[in-house]
């Protein structure tokens, strides 16, 4: 399984932000703007909390297993792999959604004197922050679930140098 690349997530964020900004500008020229739902930052924050809780749980279980504590519960490798895949998918979606709301938020900054638009800009800003939290939690989860030989350049999974 490949690691998440920050460049890929940043690229998704930037492309989504630029397309969303252009779409929002066009939509504003027609006289209206799609709204940013209040639930957007809440849902993203909940996903970040779930990812962080999963990472902390797995980290403590793996630590207990490494220290060979008698009460240590093992970690099913398939469950850990599923957690990592969930984290990676969440990070990609969060980068996309955060970019979309970021682009819309930039357009909304032009009309902060209108109370409804100001509220939408705040929701968009919190959505971007919550999206960044999801990405950070997913990267932490991925780091926790990394196999020990993945950290060593000449580990058992690598080919010998010629």
pLDDT tens digits along 17-63: 999 999 988 888 887 777 888 999 999 999 999 999 999 998 888 88
The CA-based diameter of the chain, rounded to the nearest angstrom, is 67
Residue 161 pLDDT exceeds 50:
no
Q: How far is CA 6 from CA 39, 84, 100, 106, 122, in A?
A: 26, 16, 18, 23, 26
Residue 157 pLDDT exceeds 60:
no
State residue 111's pLDDT score: 82
- Rounded Cα distance between 128 and 94, Å, is 9
pLDDT tens digits along 111-148: 888 888 889 999 999 999 999 999 999 999 999 888 66
Long-range contacts of 34-42 (CB under 8 A, 24+ apart): 34/104, 35/120, 36/101, 36/104, 36/105, 36/108, 36/120, 36/123, 36/124, 36/127, 37/123, 38/123, 40/97, 40/101, 40/123, 40/126, 40/127, 40/130, 41/123, 41/126, 41/127, 41/129, 41/130, 42/130
State residue 134's pLDDT score: 96
- Rounded Cα distance between 71 and 82, Å, is 24
State residue 33's pLDDT score: 76
- Rounded Cα distance between 126 and 132, Å, is 10
- Rounded Cα distance between 106 and 23, Å, is 12
pLDDT tens digits along 76-114: 888 888 999 999 999 999 999 999 999 999 998 888 888
């Amino acid at each position: 399984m490949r690691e998440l690349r920050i460049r890929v997530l940043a690229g998704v964020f930037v492309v989504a932000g630029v397309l969303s900004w252009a779409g929002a500008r066009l939509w504003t020229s027609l006289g209206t703007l799609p709204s940013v739902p209040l639930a957007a930052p809440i849902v993203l924050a909940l996903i970040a909390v779930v990812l962080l809780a999963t990472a902390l749980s797995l980290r403590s279980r793996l630590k207990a297993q490494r220290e060979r504590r008698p009460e240590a519960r093992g970690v099913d490798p398939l469950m850990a792999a599923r957690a990592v895949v969930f984290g990676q998918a969440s990070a990609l979606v969060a980068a996309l959604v955060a970019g979309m709301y970021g682009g819309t938020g930039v357009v909304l900054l032009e009309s902060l004197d209108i109370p409804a638009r100001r509220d939408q800009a705040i929701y968009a800003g919190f959505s971007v922050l919550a999206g960044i939290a999801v990405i950070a939690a997913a990267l932490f989860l991925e780091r926790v679930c990394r196999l020990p030989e993945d950290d060593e350049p000449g580990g058992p999974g690598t080919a010998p140098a010629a």
